[in-house]
Structure 1
Amino acid sequence: MKKIAILLLLFVQITSLFAADPVSLYRLFETSVVNNEVYQNRFTDVELLVQYQAPSGRLFDFRGFFDGDGKGGGDMNEGNVWKMRFMPNETGIWKYVYRWSDGTPGGDGRFECTSEGSGKGILKPYDKNPHWFAYNGTEPVWLKSYYETGHGSIAQDFDWIIENVYGKLVEHGYNHVQVNWLLSLCCFEQYYNDGPKPATLDLALYEEGNVDETMKLDVWHRMERHLGWFNQQDIGVHMFLGVDGSKNDAPAWKKLSLTQKDFFVRYMVARLAPFANLAGWNYVWEIPGNREDEELGFTRLINQYDIFEHLCTYEDEFPRENFFHLPEYTFAAVENHEIAAPDKNEERHLWKEPWTHHMACLLGYVGKPVYMIEGNALWRRFWQERTGATQDDLRRSVWACATAGASFTWCGHASEYELMAKGPEGLPFYDENPYKLSEKYISILSDLMTNELAFYRMTPSDQLLSNHSALQVYALAEPGEQYLVFAPDGEPFSLKLESGTYSNNFWLNTETGDKKTLKEIIKANGDEPVDFKAPDQSVDWALVIRK
């Protein structure tokens, strides 16, 4: 009878594995298997090991994970569902074989990957110009990124969040977000107060120092529902708070043993890495970058287990001296501190200045894309009241980042607590919020970079400028083909152009988006710079020159 029961169990498992629906390219394959063996700790006593075979014959070794009852219930002692997830990067028939580390009988299966409904793939450095990001390293993308800070919102009504928060990002063309709920460790009282009350505020993934016995599977399910929705919209998601909660009075990474750290990274990667839109592993905010027992060791574990090679970084508050050159990091996340002086207190009054953002981005570049993760003029939340930054400072600082060949995120909602979706302090996508004006400024820049310029061929080119106030005018260029110069208050400047005829030129009012055509420029001698004067000196202008 026991043999018959085992055979029936295997038959049910294998039948379900072969019945999987087609999976779109770069989307999520997922299936479940049941294991009714008795384990003292179902998270750690056994591993589900899977080998996937691509249509081309390539082999990928990956892991599954224990998921309780498969619906958010269960714990180390309760539940019999393990899941396999994978992100297929080839169309055709995929095969896989799974086995259990303790010798429990495994099985195999297959699924079809189709091109219909394909995702974009994984964000990586653009292989032809690593100032920028590109899907799979080959398809450049201008990041239009917003910092969404609803820690506890993953426990609010999902449909309400889609309609009032995430849907607004889609409507306004955002393809990237920075969030605090991935991974979930702290600050759960920060949710949208004008929305439904959260179902729970018990949203910490685990209890400090005990990750392999106290994992909350319902929290994983809440997070993955949100991450999965963004994945279907091809919107990248960068984790800001990362895995070390100690800076926010939450579970500390250092309180975990080496064995627990290794387990947690394996488990985390098995659950999250198959989501193509995971747009950056991050340890936590404002750290040195070279600590073996913290961010560097964490990143090495990620690189060991993440077969999809998602982006990985740390946030450097002081990018004048950084560790982004280390091979473990694949992009730079910077803030604009200690740009003007070696002591924070000496330069606090400069943190709203565009030039500190520009220089921080330049200093953070070591052959890898730079992402201004926490520009102090770019966050209405937290930084506006501390720096006195205006919306003019915000607008100028995003141009300062872009002309430094960097991407950036911003936020136009207020308050660390009492978070609102609507109203004057809510998200900047509603008419009553004055920062809707800043959203317009961001869109003007995004439209220029996406539709007017081949930005992915351009690099920072301040060396081509002369005859202007120091640190006030910035240039991005593909010399001989296209040039972009940002001039606050219409600052006059000279620009060195390579010889040639430039007939597609205009001035762009960065506040309104209005354009003023500039006459054709015929440059016979590439040695002498050309003088430029904006249409007026009452607003900020961007000059675009193209062959």
Structure 2
Amino acid sequence: MSYPRKACHHFLFLAAAMLLSFSALSTVAATDEVGLYRIFETSIENDKAYENKFNDAELRCKYTAPSSREVEFAGFFDGDGEGGGDAKTGNVWKLRFLPDELGEWQYSWSWSDGTSGGSGTFTCVAEGAGKGILRPYKENPQWFAYNGTEPVWIKSYYETGHGSIAQPFEWITANVYQPMLDRGYNHLQVNWLLSLCCFGQYYLDGPAPSTEDLALYEEGRASSTMRLDVWKMMERHLGWLNERNVGVHMFLGFEGRKNEGASWEKLSEEEKDFYVRYVVARVAPFANVAGWNFVWEDPGHRESHELGLARLLEKYDVFNHLRTYQDEHPRDNEYERPEYTFAAIENHFIAAPEKPLDRLYRKTPWTHHQACLVGYVPGKPVFMSEGNALWRRYWHERTGATQDDLRQAAWGCATAGSSFCWNGHAKEYELAVRGPEGIPFHGEDNPFTVSAKYIDILSKVMADEVAFFRMSPQDHLLTHHDPFRVWCLAETGKQYLVFSCAGEPFWLHVTEGNYGDNVWVDAKTGEQRPFPTLKATAKELSSEDPDERRIGTKAVKITPPDRETDWVLILRNGG
């Protein structure tokens, strides 16, 4: 049977109208293009009445990659889609996804309550591609690498503005984030991602925040009280940093109790499951999430707390972002557990198991070095999340640490094969960007711009002078030295880096080679001085030290240029 053309059009219109009356509608066209490792996002309207739109119906989606690989990942309720709405109001759900293959992706969604779903496509393109997700470097998992294959030296700062997400966004990006990017920082440890506490801590020399009420949800009621306006603020910051490939590690994470915020313990098992699912659905598609974290200073083994969280994240995060807990005393760490994929550590209980004695050594660089060494489990990189000499904020005042301690502790972490963050904020409960009390990237009136320069020098050495990603801690190659003051990072036979606090002399054991591209670097100023060519022949490969008898190496006695500064020796084998 055939129909007149006009009748056909009328029939198709009626059919489409009937279909739309039973379906939730996507607002994304089929020709959308998304950069590799960037965020695909589409909004879907669902006008069905629910008692609790966060939890009564689950939006499910299956993504099919150009290679035919299938990935299932949930969507989430987002109120009116612009930061408004609550459990009862709003009709916008969103799908977010992180594409990791070039080409056309297909996706189809459905609803757990039987509401009709739909489908669509988008194209993943190379233009505008992101770096991808930080993971252990496959070739040498002492270090981090984008997607496990592109090594990156982590240059990280602890940005502590809990309540700053409520200040004008353009002011924060211009005065806080951009100066860090201009100095080469590619990683931030933050307190505002999953906003649970401390909202009065914002930048006092900036515009006033729009609110100091930023609690993400009400105590014990995550599934019905999510603050969509707060999510909008957080994601705007996270997205800006994601577009610039700046990794973000959440220091306070999922537990607010330790900072007088919402407590993980007050959530039922069902609420915990919802909270993690919702967070993952919203946040995991941001490639720059550089570490899920429970909160600071945990023991690591509690299934009711940090370990249980890690298991939920492992279950729901299909993109497999890094997972950790922060260990206060890493010599007794739990990082061998498969749920944890990197180590976030502090430098406590390295000097002694008794806190009164241990506290005396928390500013010392060697406790940072040792903490990084003992915190490493093969395959899981170490990040010194809270090194006490590295934090002017909080710890310097309590330990008496100096900027010399900060510089030496940073090198202690690096020579232990670890990454770290540092902080130059002056005050514990007040923040400023400019002036003597501000972040130390603005002018010379802040005394801690000196430390910022120290970190610049270290980062330049690691990124430009050595292939750090092929190196590992090799303190056993040192003899006749003070082990609290001299440390070695090496790719044996190819490149050696030795850090010497205050010019401490040492002997270095090297293997056969012609080391002719050598240099001393002043860790305070960056000044370089030549170091003479060093040859180690096969006949010499036994220790010159009769107490050592190390066959296969040549022991070289080395004295730094002076005792007035810290010296970094770099030896490179030219063949």
Q: Per-residue deviation at 1:13?
A: 2.9
Partner of 1:545, secondary structure, is strand
Aligned equivalents of 2:25 and 2:248: distance in 1? 33
Superposition pairs for residues 488-527 of structure 1, below 5 Å? 488-524=501-537, 525-527=540-542
Superposition pairs for residues 350-389 of structure 1, below 5 Å? 350-367=361-378, 368-389=380-401
Judge conservation of contact 1:496–1:526 (CA < 8 Å) in 2: no
Q: Does 1:407 align with 2:419?
A: yes
Q: Which residue of 1 aligns with 2:409?
A: 397
Which deviations, in whole Å up to 9, do the C-alpha atoms of 1:208-228 show, x marking residues without a partner? 011111110000110000000
Q: Which residue of 2 aligns with 1:328?
A: 339
Judge conservation of contact 2:30–2:120 (CA < 8 Å) in 1: no
Cα 1:10–1:119 change in 2 (3 A) is farther
Q: Per-residue deviation at 1:158?
A: 0.3
Q: Which residue of 1 aligns with 2:10?
A: none
Partner of 1:254, secondary structure, is helix
The unaligned stretches of length 5 or more in structure 1 are none
Which deviations, in whole Å up to 9, do the C-alpha atoms of 1:226-265 show, x marking residues without a partner? 0000000000000000111110111100100000100111
Partner of 2:557, secondary structure, is strand
Amino acid at match of 1:497: V
Q: CA RMSD in A?
A: 1.3
Q: Which residue of 2 aligns with 1:136?
A: 147
Q: Which residue of 2 aligns with 1:540?
A: 566
Q: Does 1:487 align with 2:500?
A: yes
Amino acid at match of 1:31: T
2:93 equivalent among 82, 85, 96:
82
Q: Per-residue deviation at 1:527?
A: 2.4
* Fraction of identical pairs, as percent: 59
Q: Per-residue deviation at 1:21?
A: 2.9
Aligned equivalents of 2:28 and 2:104: distance in 1? 13
Aligned equivalents of 1:117 and 1:344: distance in 2? 50
Q: Per-residue deviation at 1:320?
A: 1.1
Amino acid at match of 1:369: P
Partner of 1:212, secondary structure, is helix
Partner of 1:18, secondary structure, is coil
Superposition pairs for residues 84-483 of structure 1, below 5 Å? 84-367=95-378, 368-431=380-443, 432-483=445-496
Judge conservation of contact 1:17–1:108 (CA < 8 Å) in 2: no
Judge conservation of contact 1:441–1:510 (CA < 8 Å) in 2: yes
Aligned equivalents of 1:263 and 1:2: distance in 2? 39
Which deviations, in whole Å up to 9, do the C-alpha atoms of 1:330-363 show, x marking residues without a partner? 0001100000110111121211100000000001
Judge conservation of contact 2:23–2:116 (CA < 8 Å) in 1: no
Structure 1 or 2, whichever has the larger Rg, is 2
Aligned equivalents of 1:5 and 1:180: distance in 2? 47
Cα 1:11–1:325 change in 2 (3 A) is closer
Amino acid at match of 1:225: R
Aligned equivalents of 1:54 and 1:516: distance in 2? 53
Partner of 2:482, secondary structure, is coil
Aligned equivalents of 1:302 and 1:210: distance in 2? 19
TM-score by length of 2: 0.93
Amino acid at match of 1:539: T
Superposition pairs for residues 16-35 of structure 1, below 5 Å? 16-19=27-30, 21-35=32-46
Partner of 2:265, secondary structure, is helix
Q: Per-residue deviation at 1:513?
A: 0.3
Q: Per-residue deviation at 1:418?
A: 1.9
The unaligned stretches of length 5 or more in structure 2 are 1-12, 544-554
Which deviations, in whole Å up to 9, do the C-alpha atoms of 1:169-196 show, x marking residues without a partner? 1100000000000110000000001001
Judge conservation of contact 2:396–2:402 (CA < 8 Å) in 1: yes
Q: Per-residue deviation at 1:534?
A: 0.7
TM-score by length of 1: 0.98
Partner of 2:174, secondary structure, is helix
- Of stretches 525-534 and 282-291 in structure 1, the one that deviates more from structure 2 is 525-534
Partner of 1:334, secondary structure, is strand
Aligned equivalents of 1:410 and 1:120: distance in 2? 23
Which deviations, in whole Å up to 9, do the C-alpha atoms of 1:52-81 show, x marking residues without a partner? 001111100000000000000000000100
Which deviations, in whole Å up to 9, do the C-alpha atoms of 1:140-187 show, x marking residues without a partner? 000000000000000000000011000111100000000000110000
Q: Per-residue deviation at 1:380?
A: 0.5
Amino acid at match of 1:72: G
Q: Which residue of 1 aligns with 2:6?
A: none
Q: Per-residue deviation at 1:526?
A: 2.6
Judge conservation of contact 1:40–1:77 (CA < 8 Å) in 2: yes
Judge conservation of contact 2:105–2:121 (CA < 8 Å) in 1: yes
Q: Which residue of 1 aligns with 2:81?
A: 70
Aligned equivalents of 1:370 and 1:309: distance in 2? 17
